[in-house]
Amino acid sequence: SQQGEEDPQALSIQEGENATMNCSYKTSINNLQWYRQNSGRGLVHLILIRSNEREKHSGRLRVTLDTSKKSSSLLITASRAADTASYFCATALDTGRRALTFGSGTRLQVQP
Amino acid sequence: DARVTQTPRHKVTEMGQEVTMRCQPILGHNTVFWYRQTMMQGLELLAYFRNRAPLDDSGMPKDRFSAEMPDATLATLKIQPSEPRDSAVYFCASGLVLKQSGETQYFGPGTRLLVL
């Protein structure tokens, strides 16, 4: 089964609104990453948060990590039509194995 | 602007044929990953190399799939014989692993494979 599971599976909002996506995982992690995938393209790295960090910002992105709940959230503020994409969380286990396990993704649609 | 390149971008083949996908990782990266993406299964890790040595290929069907890194600038994923259920988008990603840190993975554009 997937290590990371995103919620919701799909999200539709209006331009200018904030979008929040959640990710839950099952085992101890070294870090958690968020990626974006535009239709027909490869994944693009957005942000990495380590297990000893609680919050991280990058431009309009804000990521939180709660290791006690094994969950993370990605907030996109003031969304734009160009933010329309699928967003995936990915976890790197705390075992030295650095391969990422991806969740099933959240499909975000930002209506202009 | 360094990026991961993959060839071919699209491949249509018939069941039973051999398929070879190639990837050029970003120069200086020491890890290479192969993923497969389908609507039903999402993104699945197939193989993982560090410093050209295979670290994990447990996600790969061993009887028909093989992954190699003949040199630091080339990774290959081969399917022989191909089957319709192998139809998917295959992504290569590379990264730089530093001790005790997580690495960002940089994805290629993918090879869209259709096996008829």
**Interval B21-62: pLDDT, tens:** 999 999 999 899 999 999 888 899 999 898 888 888 888 888
C-beta atoms of A99 and B50 within 8 A: no
Pairing of strands A71-76, A61-66: antiparallel
CB pairs below 8 Å between A and B: how many?
Answer: 54
Give the span between the Cα atoms of A40 and A112, in whole angstroms. 21
Per-window interface: B 57-86 vs A, CB < 8 A: none
Q: Report the alpha-carbon distance of residue B109 to residue B77 in Å, rounded.
A: 15
pLDDT at A1 over 50: no
Burial of B48 (0-12, 13-18, 19+ CB in 10 A): buried
CB-based contact B43 A98, cutoff 8 Å: no
A41 touches chain B (CB under 8 A): yes
* Residue A29, SS3 per DSSP: strand
pLDDT over threshold 70, residue A109 = yes
Distance from CA of A102 to the nearest CA of B (A): 6
The Cα A12–Cα B64 span in angstroms is 41
Report whether pLDDT(A77) > 70: yes
pLDDT at position A40 is: 84
Residues from chain A contacting residue B48 (CB–CB below 8 Å):
98-99
Q: Does B107 touch chain A (CB under 8 A)?
A: yes
CB of B73 within 8 A of CB of B24? yes
Can you tell me the distance from the alpha carbon of A106 to that of B40, in angstroms, rounded to the nearest whole number?
14
Query: What is the C-alpha to C-alpha distance for residues A89 and A106, in angstroms, rounded to an integer?
Result: 9
Residue from A96, A105, A110 nearest A37 by CA? A105
pLDDT of residue A27: 86
pLDDT at position B58 is: 81
Q: Which carries the bigger pLDDT value, residue B16 or residue B30?
A: B16
Number of residues assigned to chain B: 116
Do residues B20 and B78 make contact, with C-beta atoms less than 8 angstroms apart? yes
Residue A2 pLDDT class (50, 70, 90 cuts): very low
Q: What percent of chain B has pLDDT over 70?
A: 95
Strand extents, DSSP E, A1-112: 5-7, 10-14, 19-24, 29-37, 43-50, 55-58, 61-66, 71-76, 85-93, 100-102, 106-111
Residue A96 banded pLDDT, cuts 50, 70, 90: low
**Weakest-pLDDT range from A2-16, A43-57, A70-84, B35-49:** A2-16
Return the residue of A nearest to B91 by Cα. A42
Query: What's the whole-number mean pLDDT along residues A12-38?
Result: 94
